[in-house]
Amino acid sequence: MGNPDDLYITDLRLYKKLGKIKEMLLSGETLPKGVTHRQTVIAVGDLAIVPVCFEAFTEIAMNLRAKSPYKQTIAMGITSGTRSYLPTEEELPYGGYEVTMFRTSALLSYADNLDKIVVDEYVKLLNKLEK
């Protein structure tokens, strides 16, 4: 294997992620079982504002709007912290920078259908709000 410093940024991120996992396993540490994200929603009248801690693909915001119980729903990306890009499950096979960053931004890989999980969880929160 060559010098890791010669790797492209996306390959270097994967190299470092796998190195961290190897280090943890060799030291006897257990890997975390999952990742949690705090979610917040705000509603005023017929308007819902949904801060998303990812840079989500447009289709995710459109899906959220379609499922929202509010007349107007605004999904605001890269708020409530920044996790990574959030591509749709359908985009994952195409790869590319955003998909690689999604795959390598957390110690454990996110679920392929995280886009659907995020939308469903936000819709649950929106449905709990009093109108």
**Rounded to an integer, what distance in angstroms lies between the CA atom of residue 8 and that of residue 128?**
45
Instruction: State yes or no: pLDDT of 60 exceeds 90.
Output: yes
Between 12 and 50, name the one with better pLDDT: 50
Phi/psi at 45 (5° precision): 60, -125
pLDDT of residue 88: 97
Task: Write down the pTM of the prediction.
Answer: 0.81
pLDDT of residue 53: 86
pLDDT, tens digit, 9 for 90 and up, residues 69-91: 999 999 998 886 667 899 999 99
